[in-house]
Amino acid sequence: MRIVPYLLSMTLLAVAGCASQIPYAESYGYTGQRKMQAVQHWRILAEEVAEHMREDMVAAGLADRPVYVVPRKNAAPFDEAFHDFLVEALIDNQVEVSRNAAGALILRKRVEVVSHGATRTYFPHMTMMTGVKPVNTEIIISCSLRDDEQFITKTANVFYINGVDVTHYVKDVEVTVAPKGVIPTPVRSMRLVTN
């Protein structure tokens, strides 16, 4: 008699397993991601990008070519500062920086803000151990170096930012300051492409 409930439960499990043909959600393992919280972090990124650009210029046999860093009109504070830091870092890496595009490699920058609306999964014990709370706003900072229409190299870096700091990275975004304990997010997200 005991075998009947066992066989019935095994049959139900087998049928349920066959009924679901979609994959289950699986998260990535724990990783770290840097958070931009100071202008000095912008300088550090510029130094990393300049070093990467120089290495790839050498590898492509273009180390003797000047680089024109495309400025952005009506730029947000990050873009203005990052432009200057990048020019400085390229010069420090023995890259000739030109004030005009004629005959130069073209370095373009792009900033994209990503605001996550959903509550982020984060384990409370991690907050207690690290003091770090979940962040709902990220930025992607991309830099590409081209020779005419051919890409020489490209970088794309992702960082967390405080939601209220989004106006450092994009202009004309309304930011709502939320009550303490609530993570604010921009009312409108914009994608900026540096020309």
The verdict on residue 20 lying in a domain is no
Residue 53 domain boundaries: 32-193
pTM of the model: 0.73
The verdict on residue 12 lying in a domain is no
Handedness of CA 41, 44, 50, 51 (dihedral sign): negative
Please state, in angstroms and rounded to a whole number, the distance separating the CA atoms of residues 178 and 195. 34
Indicate the number of domains in the chain. Answer: 1
Indicate left, alpha or beta for 131 from its phi (over 0: left) and psi (-120 to 50: alpha). left
The predicted pLDDT at position 188 comes to 46
The verdict on residue 18 lying in a domain is no
Helices and strands (DSSP H and E) totals, the chain: 4, 6
HEC states along 141-173? Answer: EEEEEEECCEEEEEEEEEEEECHHHHHHCCCCC
DSSP state for residue 100 in the 8-state scheme? S
Please, what is the Cα angle at 134 between 132 and 175, to 5 degrees? 115
The verdict on residue 43 lying in a domain is yes
The predicted pLDDT at position 27 comes to 79
The verdict on residue 25 lying in a domain is no
The predicted pLDDT at position 26 comes to 83
The predicted pLDDT at position 187 comes to 46
Please choose, from the candidates 81, 38, 70, the residue with its C-alpha nearest in 3D space to the C-alpha of residue 143: 70
pLDDT along the chain (195 residues), means of 10: 67 59 80 92 98 97 97 91 98 97 96 80 60 79 95 96 90 57 49 53
The verdict on residue 129 lying in a domain is yes
> Residue with structure tokens 């947000």?
76
The verdict on residue 87 lying in a domain is yes
Q: Nearest 10 degrees: CA dihedral of 144, 162, 38, 91?
A: 0
